[in-house]
């Protein structure tokens, strides 16, 4: 099988600091409104009246966790399927999903198709853009900028087969879709409060800021 690069995200230690987002924006010199990586905060539960505590409101089943999300460089990418010009394609050498800007017509079909919100519309260039795995850094034997910037070392990048051998193959964590949809090149070590994909027990708490 051809090599496929991908990410591991340890949600059990992620503190939602968004340093990965900042590092990515800085490395790619992204303007306001464009982000290749998003940190989503997912939580649920409620406050109830506790008669034994003088009718004070107390938390009931309250939980929250964060996920750092970017292009998943999927094995079956929705963006590639819907692109009318072939601008989206998987690189044969490592499976990264890249955009050929010369072929892109900015129709935004990929933006609508991707369940991870990865493709971003560059309103100035009228083209689509997204995470490319920091191909320039990879060519130098380095990690993507988000990986090295993570304070908690919650991100790792490499051969997805090796990452799955170390961490398992779970990538179906709410609010992300079930991994069967596009077969993302991603492994998630879940937080202790993580909910499965499709769970109605919670919601994205930092929308629309999460993008």
Q: Which domains does the chain have, with CATH numbers?
A: 5-204 (3.30.70.20)
The predicted structure's pLDDT at residue 42: 97
80 CB-side CA count, 13 A: 15
DSSP class of residue 178 equals P
| Token pair belonging to 43 | 């939580």
> Residue 194 and residue 53: Cα distance in Å, rounded?
29
Going residue by residue through the chain (211 aa), what tens digit of pLDDT does each one get? 579 999 999 999 999 999 999 999 999 999 998 999 999 999 999 888 887 777 888 888 899 999 999 999 999 999 999 999 999 999 999 999 999 999 999 999 999 999 999 999 999 999 999 999 999 999 999 999 999 999 999 999 999 999 999 999 999 999 999 999 999 999 999 999 999 999 999 999 998 776 6
pTM for the full predicted model: 0.91
């Amino acid at each position: 099988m051809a090599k496929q690069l991908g990410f591991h995200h340890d949600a059990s230690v992620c503190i939602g600091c968004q340093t990965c987002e900042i590092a990515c924006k800085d490395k790619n010199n992204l303007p306001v409104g464009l982000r290749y990586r998003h940190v989503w905060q997912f939580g649920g539960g409620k406050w109830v009246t506790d008669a034994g505590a003088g009718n004070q409101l107390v938390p009931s089943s309250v939980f929250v966790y964060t996920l750092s999300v970017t292009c998943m460089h999927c094995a079956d990418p929705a963006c590639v399927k819907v692109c009318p010009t072939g601008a989206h394609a998987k690189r044969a050498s490592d499976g990264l999903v890249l955009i050929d800007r010369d072929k892109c017509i900015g129709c935004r079909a990929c933006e609508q198709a991707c369940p991870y919100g990865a493709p971003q519309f560059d309103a100035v260039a009228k083209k689509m853009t997204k995470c490319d795995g920091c191909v320039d850094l990879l060519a130098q034997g380095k990690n993507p900028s988000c990986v090295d910037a993570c304070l908690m070392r919650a991100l790792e990048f490499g051969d997805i087969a090796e990452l799955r051998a170390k961490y398992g193959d779970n990538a179906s964590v709410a609010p992300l879709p079930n991994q069967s949809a596009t077969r993302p090149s991603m492994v998630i070590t879940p937080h202790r409060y993580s909910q499965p994909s499709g769970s109605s027990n919670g919601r994205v708490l930092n929308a629309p800021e999460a993008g």
